[in-house]
Structure 1
Amino acid sequence: MEAIVVALTLRATRSSRPPWMAIYSGLVGLVAVVMFIATAEQIPHTVSLPAFWLMTGLALVAAALAFVTTDIRGASVVLCPVLCFSFATVLCWGLAPAILMQTLATAVVGLRLRDSAKHIGFIAAQYAVAFTAAYVVVQIGDPKPFATTTVVERLSDTATVILAAAAFLAVFLAQTIITARLTSPGFQWQKVRASLAHQALFLASLLLLSPVLAVAAHVNVFFVLLIILPLYAVQKMARLSAERDRAAWADPLTGLANRRGLQARFDDLRAGKPMALLMLDLDRFKHVNDALGHDVGDRLLVAIAQRLTRQTPAGGTVGRLGGDEFAILVPGVRDAEEAHEVARTVLAALAQPVRLDELDIDVTASAGVAVHPDQGTDFATLMRHADVALYEAKRRGDSAASYDPCVDLNSPQRLGLLADFRRALESPGDEIALHYQPQVALDSGELVGVEALLRWTHPTRGLISTPEVLQVAEHTSVMHLLTVRVIDDVVAQLAAWRAQNLRLRVSINISARDLYSGEVVEHLATRLREYDVPPDQIQVEITESALMGDPVRAYSTVMKIVGIGVAVSLDDFGTGYSSLQHLRKLPLAEIKVDRSFVAGMADNSDDAAIVRSTVELAASLGLRSVAEGVENEYTWGMLAQTHCSLAQGWSVARPMPGAELARWHTNRLHARASQAQLTL
């Protein structure tokens, strides 16, 4: 059990040794050698005793059979009860024999770990220094357990042994702390303190068994053998405790670090130093489970874990987060470009087929990258940012992507913006407003309809762009609140215009979320009845991307919309992948040519051809065509030649509030009448 403390020393001293560590190691070694030489006269008498050799043999066997594993950081953990024998030797025969026994046992463990002679000597020297402290206490107390007769003398002997054990613990743990402090820049006392408390308990258990062993050796040499079962029980409990601790930090299937283990490794490494976190997700892993079974899937995960471990740069830590998600912490990576290079190397290694049961299984993965400290100073933030980057890579179809705050829909800033938007929607006031952009007939210039467009003026940030608002809200329940608010405001505005003898058709956009649920249809029908607005004055615009997400539910909602007398327009036509199929199946009244094509008509013959073909297709199907983004008279003229139905854009008018639109329309009618009179 004492080797749990040794594991800390191993981890510390295997790192780069700073000058102070070299000085400290030399001092510890010097003290150990001096004390061994100073007490060497104890050895000739001791080596002639059968009890000494029996305990030494048992100690060496215990060292050879010690439970050896590694913790989540890759450091060696050794559970071995040698300390019980060597501390009993201090009590029975002095310091030099104890140092000799412990050094031999340490060498056996070191050989099993394939450790260097220098490091084995350093660990043995640390034990020797701790034994020296215990030996000084023993010499001062001078216990004579077989010569004392009074109660006071027996209590004094007991106190001496306890103080000697305490001296050993204090000196040994102090050396562990010093070693960790000198070799670990990220030394954190809070974490070390909890670990040392457990180690002190384990060490104390062995130390306080030593007096029993010492007395047994004096009474009957064969009584020493009776200690085997108690020591086995202690070691067994320590082993179970170590395995339980490892299970809390490691993934049970692959043996890699789990999320908790990765966080512990991050805490060890950070200390202001740069590092990268790579999060990987296997592509189409579910197909492997479905086709070959979960047993093969588990074996594939183990094979991938081994491959990732081999490909990870030195000092890196590979973890499995669950399912087919892995993460890699790579220290020393300073920027996204360097992290991308690591990701490309790892992904290239994964691209090689994995052979299982005479079958080659192709494996590909996507990776998200976040760099510490630029993209996260704590583990939770870095993990979330790497996760955002991962799903951005999947969305774009890239193999890897770095964290970009612009695409982080769940950043604290965006979450705050979403909360503010919800508050604005649920509260009365003028933060949320609708502006209306006119749609006029290309052949007559008559105002036929308008499109309702969202405007949100934040109390502190000012006007928020509509794309930013929609990007934050579109995948949340706030989007439904927005649709309801738009329906309420538009229907109320239509009623107000009707009172002014202004009859227009208003187009409103509904999100994919509302298109799939269909709840807005009933709300729209209720508002039309409440304000006594004819349903043909409302037109719902839907996008192809919304239709493609869930065509069955989308088609059902479209049929309900048409069923209450409201027309449906297909927005952003030409930017999807199955437009002709939608034109054939859906009861549409209108298609809108995407502004990206309309804006390029004047300079790009391909865009002009696409617009012309789309308008002709709409006419052949009996549908209206609306050109978005008409910004100049030249584009207007080209559209008129194609016989497009309606034009919408700054060449006609910018979006404006409802009251201003009514005045704009009146002024426009007067201007056109005056122009007609001048023409006559």
Structure 2
Amino acid sequence: MATTLVRNTAPREHPGRYYAFLAAIISAAIIAVATTIVIAPLSFYDNLVAVPPAFWVVAVLALAVEMRSIRWRGISLSTSPLFSAACFLAVMVTWGFLPALIVQAGVAILASVKVRAALWRAGFNVAQMALALSVSWWVWTALTEGNAWETTGYDVLALVLAGCTWSIVSHLCVAGALKFRAAMGVRDYVMAYLRTEAFLGLALIALAPIIATAAVTSAWLVVAAAVPLLSLYRLLNMAAEREHQANLDPLTGMLNRKGFEIEVGDKIVNARETDTKLSLLVLDLVRFAEVNSALGHAVGDQLLEELAQRFNSKKSPGKLMARLGGDEFAFVWAELDGMDDPASCVMEIRSCLDQPVSLGDVAVNITGAIGSASFPEDGEDFESLFRRAHIALGESKRRGSDYTRYAEEFDHHSPERLMLLGDLRRALDDPRLPGVKLFYQPQMCLDTGQVLGVEALLRYTHPTQGNIQPTEILALAEQSAVMRLLTERVVEIALSQQQRWISEGHNLRVAVNVSVRDLESADFVDFLTERMRLHHVPARLLQLEITESALMADPRRVVDNVTRLAELGVGLSLDDFGTGFSSMQHLRRLPVSEIKIDRQFVAGLIDDPDDAAIVSSTIDLGRALDLLVVAEGVEEEATRAKLEEWGCHAAQGWLYARPMSAAKLDGWLRSREAAEAVILDVVPPS
């Protein structure tokens, strides 16, 4: 069984090159530090007791902010601490190179101990930071000609440049290590850093002159200068905690689908690096719907909470568990954590279901069906394993069995679904054939009650089967080239209708959903631009709704297309915010103009404190980032009033109007024109 932390191991391929790179950095650091100490003036006191109190305050501050590192998916690339940079840069220009080196080494050692780094890995961390500090000191000395710190504008600029040099050298060392350790290109690392950490790093470096000026004045002034640093630390810590909570199921406290996907992805990386296996299992409770129907949803929730407690009580170290929604749970256990056979995990799950669940005076017997898939034989990424575990689960339920392991013969599409996809394809190939149409649902400004725009919603009527659920159609189309044809038809219908509305004096913004395939397509932006030009629709009146999961399919291509669309003036809305993948990261790096709060949170905000907290926090986040915030699924006046009280910008739902055809929407708009005017330009209220 592999027990060593993956980050403390060399890559299986070319480990010699990896260790040679680390040795080169450590050697370069030793030479650089020795050279700098020889030529640098030693302004540190021989008697440590006589060191000014301001130095100790700065040193303690540097260690304090690294005691609890902040890490979320948007700030996880750098192995070198960031928050302490302002402190040891200030020490460097006020008391000299050697004191700064001591403080920085203490910070690096503390960080290494916290992550249980191997001795050689801790040595690399100390060395790469020492090398960066040496180069930074040389830049500072060259710019100031070795003069002491003064509070002039030139000195401030010189210190910021020296700090930027420190950051560049440190991150280039890390990028080089990752190139050998994780096969991550230096350019990819640098671009990822610029998208996620660069602005924060510059902000922290900009605090160094403030701390340096305070340090040469008074220890108390250092304490006062530390307030902005600690405030920034606190704000980011709160944001990281919110993101962590967004990865948890509010009912059971287990991971939700998003958090589960992230954690499983990390475990797959570990399993690949250590050449070990892992198993992903999906559990579906049998006849749970009957419990809800007979005893009520509150009792059903109690049952789920009790099962979650049982699962956690038998949780082995390293084992992941999640509630995916409803009565579905998922589990992952790896050889790295002690798993030797998926059947052992199945036995643990069964033991949790064997005993009846007591709910007041009622004892409920629960059974479940389980499907499993294993890495690497059944898939090498989360989506493959998750899909195949679901296929095995479906086979388990079909057989009436309690456990089925994935087999290739289970993975097939039903003839009915294939026929439905073929019929959809024929309807899309010929624009004259009926079937595909759009309904529209108004989006209302909560402050004024005016119409901001409409969302275009897909409807499909099959020649013999009648109306088909949009979710079923999209699930079919997204797996094939039919998705592109469907998007082109939807865009054509929406823009044609929008052109008619504009000619009638209704400058309505129309929101259209786009898929993963659309965002990955190299010519999607050109297609959309050409259709807008043909229909004379201004870009500002078109809104594209994209999901968080779509952004992770091919991030580079997707980001490029999204950026081009934003430059055209097309609005970009992040749909179902909080239910997808790494929301905070996307808000930081993408030109999103709007976020839509998913209806599952909005529907329960009056009765569920957790939903209320999620919705209110999301509204605060959107307003802080100057984004339009739209709440979906508003069906009651109490919900609308609460959203308005919290400062939500807009809402849509049955309280205002159900989705309707274009003809009915025309009548609905005319009925409102006597009392209000349609908003011409869409901007978030100030």
Choose between structure 1 and 2: higher helix proportion: 1
TM-score scaled by length of structure 2: 0.49
Q: How high is the TM-score relative to the length of structure 1? A: 0.50
